[in-house]
């Protein structure tokens, strides 16, 4: 009964549940249904932006060579003592559009009188003419130890069109000194007997093109005329011509030709008729250059005609530049001629005596050099050379008293040379330069020694701008004495010497400055040339006044 009862209850439950589902379905089917369809769809507005499209890179096949040539800071002095005279006032002839004029005067011991003046005319840009002159006079403690110099110059620069610059320079001067180095000093000479005076005049015309015209050529021709007359009526006229021409071949290559010619006639007073010496020199150095920012190669030669004798001199040099530290290495083999005439020899030795001929000096040099900048201020350099000379001029005391010097041309001579230099620059406030040159002469065929040539030279200069009003300058020139032979054929080595100078300039107002110059500060009575003692300590002071004109 229980099973039958349970079965009946389950049957009733299932039938009731099914009937409820059917009833519910009928109710839903009969109800109203509303379907809503919307066309709006929420979305974000698209953001505007620039589309970067990758483009094919442009291939530039051109090669641009950037060259920076470090200017040489070697100090080169001639074989002559530093002049014991005040430093010259440097007048800038074409610096600004103002017409700057100046007047400089000074007085000092040793009966020193100094006067200089300079005037500028022109706009300072396209046309400018500088006119200047000076007068210097000194008198030492020895008999006839006097020096007088008068000079005048006109330097005019003009721009011709847009392509050329023309400069014309005229100079004239007179230098008077006496051959006071006679021995013994008790000889009864008058000043007229030992007068040593030179009058000179010169004219130079220079033309330079600023743009590469005429098939890309760059040219700078120059012609000059020089006249010299001595107190004993020696006369010399010289004409010099140079016409350098160069052309760039692309960006790395260059060819250059530098023809030069010098023609001089020297008239010597002799009995019964005057003697005329003709000295002509023509040379045409030609080089092919390959220049990059890492190295330079120059290959060429210099065909030369020296008074009818033909010679070919080498012109081969190479430069390697290390980009990491800026080290510059130079190696080369080069040659040139030095012209010897009355003007050049008298500039080297004021008491020279000319006999009856000249010989030009042929110099061939094989060298190895390095130059290294250290930081932003220091630069070091050194060069080792082997020099070979032909017809090098040597100087020996002449006459019985040795007051003048005969010139002997040594046919063959060699020298081992070492040159080194250092420089320090700090803006425009401090500039320091120093150098040394050592020469070991050998291989002489006729003479025993290199008479009159210095084996060792040291030089230096200092410019210190202490303030806007006060600045200092200093120079040092020291050397080991040369070998000398007097008129009696006695030989000796001149002692070493040094000449130290110190100067100062103080600006009082914008247009006026006071200056002081101390020459041969340590009063060293050295002899650069045998038997010729130089002036002692020289103290000179004065003022400079500059003004502008309309």
Q: Which DSSP state fits 123?
A: -
Query: From first to last of its 550 residues, what are the pLDDT tens digits of the chain?
Result: 444 455 445 544 444 444 444 444 444 444 455 555 555 555 555 544 444 444 444 344 444 344 444 443 333 333 333 333 333 333 333 333 345 799 999 999 999 999 999 999 988 778 999 999 999 999 999 999 999 999 999 999 999 888 889 999 999 999 999 999 999 999 999 999 999 999 999 999 999 988 766 778 899 999 999 999 999 999 999 999 999 999 999 889 999 999 999 999 999 998 889 999 999 999 999 999 999 989 999 999 999 999 999 999 999 999 999 888 889 999 999 999 999 999 999 999 999 998 888 999 999 999 999 998 887 788 999 999 999 999 999 999 998 999 999 999 999 999 999 999 999 998 889 999 999 999 999 999 999 999 999 999 999 999 999 999 999 999 999 999 999 999 999 999 999 999 999 999 999 998 999 999 999 999 999 999 999 999 999 999 999 999 864 4
Tally of residues, the chain: 550
- Residue written as token pair 């103002």: 98
Asked if residue 117 lies in contact with residue 135, where contact means CB atoms within 8 angstroms, the answer is no
CA gap 199, 227 in Å, rounded: 8
User: What one-character-per-residue DSSP string does 222-238 give?
Assistant: EEEEEEEEETT--EEEE
User: What one-character-per-residue DSSP string does 52-115 give?
Assistant: ----PPP----------PPPP------SSPPP-SPPPPPPPSSSSSSEEEEEEEEEETTTEEEE
CA gap 89, 513 in Å, rounded: 11
Asked if residue 210 lies in contact with residue 163, where contact means CB atoms within 8 angstroms, the answer is yes
φ, ψ at 375 (rounded to 5°):
70, -155
Counts for the chain of helices (H) and strands (E), in that order: 2, 33
Asked if residue 326 lies in contact with residue 373, where contact means CB atoms within 8 angstroms, the answer is yes
Dump strand ranges (E) for 275-412: 275-283, 286-291, 295-306, 309-321, 328-338, 352-353, 361-374, 378-390, 392-398, 404-410
Residues 6 or more apart whose Cβ sits within 8 Å of residue 316: 298, 299, 300, 332, 333, 334
Cα–Cα–Cα angle for 437, 438, 440, nearest 5°?
150
Q: How many CB atoms lie within 10 A of CB 529?
A: 22
Domains in the chain: ranges and CATH: 99-549 (2.40.170.20)
Asked if residue 242 lies in contact with residue 205, where contact means CB atoms within 8 angstroms, the answer is no
């Amino acid at each position: 009964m229980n099973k039958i009862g349970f079965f009946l209850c389950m049957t009733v439950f299932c039938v009731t549940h099914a009937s409820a589902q059917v009833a519910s379905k009928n109710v839903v089917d009969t109800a109203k249904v509303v379907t809503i369809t919307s066309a709006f769809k929420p979305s974000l507005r698209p953001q505007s932006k620039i589309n970067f499209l990758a483009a094919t890179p442009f291939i530039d096949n051109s090669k641009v060579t950037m060259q920076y040539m470090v200017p040489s800071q070697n100090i080169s002095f001639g074989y002559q003592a530093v002049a014991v005279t005040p430093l010259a006032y440097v007048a800038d002839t074409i610096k600004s559009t103002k017409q700057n004029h100046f007047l400089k005067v000074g007085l000092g011991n040793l009966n020193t009188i100094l006067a200089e003046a300079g005037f500028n005319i022109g706009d300072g840009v396209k046309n400018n003419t500088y006119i200047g002159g000076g007068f210097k006079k000194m008198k030492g403690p020895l008999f006839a130890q006097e020096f007088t110099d008068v000079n005048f110059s006109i330097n005019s620069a003009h721009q011709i069109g847009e392509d050329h610059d023309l400069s014309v320079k005229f100079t004239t001067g007179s230098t008077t000194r006496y051959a006071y180095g006679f021995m013994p000093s008790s000889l009864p000479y008058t000043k007229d007997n030992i007068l040593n005076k030179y009058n000179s005049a010169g004219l130079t015309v220079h033309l330079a093109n600023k743009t590469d015209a005429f098939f890309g050529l760059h040219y700078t021709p120059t012609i000059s005329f020089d006249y010299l007359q001595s107190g004993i009526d020696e006369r010399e006229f010289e004409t010099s011509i140079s016409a350098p021409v160069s052309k760039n071949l692309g960006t790395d290559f260059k060819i250059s030709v530098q023809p030069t010619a010098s023609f001089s006639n020297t008239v010597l007073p002799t009995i019964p008729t005057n003697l005329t010496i003709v000295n002509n020199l023509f040379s045409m150095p030609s080089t092919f250059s390959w220049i990059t920012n890492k190295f330079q190669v120059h290959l060429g030669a210099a065909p030369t005609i020296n008074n009818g004798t033909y010679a070919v001199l080498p012109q081969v040099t190479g430069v390697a530049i290390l980009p990491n530290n800026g080290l510059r290495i130079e190696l080369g083999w080069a040659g040139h001629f030095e012209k010897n005439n009355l003007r050049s020899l008298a500039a080297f030795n004021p008491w020279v005596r000319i006999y009856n001929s000249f010989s030009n000096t042929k110099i061939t040099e094989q060298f190895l050099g390095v130059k290294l900048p250290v930081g932003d201020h220091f630069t070091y350099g050194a060069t080792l050379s082997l020099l070979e000379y032909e017809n090098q001029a040597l100087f020996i005391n002449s006459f019985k008293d040795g007051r003048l010097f005969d010139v002997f041309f040594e046919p063959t001579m060699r020298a081992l040379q070492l040159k080194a230099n250092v420089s320090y620059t700090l803006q425009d406030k401090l500039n320091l330069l120093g150098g040394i040159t050592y020469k070991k002469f050998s291989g002489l065929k006729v003479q025993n020694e290199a008479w009159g040539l210095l084996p060792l030279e040291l030089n230096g200069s200092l410019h210190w701008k202490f303030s806007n009003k006060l600045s200092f300058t200093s120079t040092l020139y020291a050397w080991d004495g040369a070998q000398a032979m007097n008129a009696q054929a006695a030989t000796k080595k001149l002692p070493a010497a040094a000449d130290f100078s110190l100067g100062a300039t103080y600006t009082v107002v914008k247009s006026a400055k006071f200056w002081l110059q101390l020459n041969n500060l340590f009063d060293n009575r050295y002899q650069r040339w045998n038997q010729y003692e130089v002036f002692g300590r020289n103290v000179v002071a004065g003022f400079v006044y500059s003004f502008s004109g309309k």
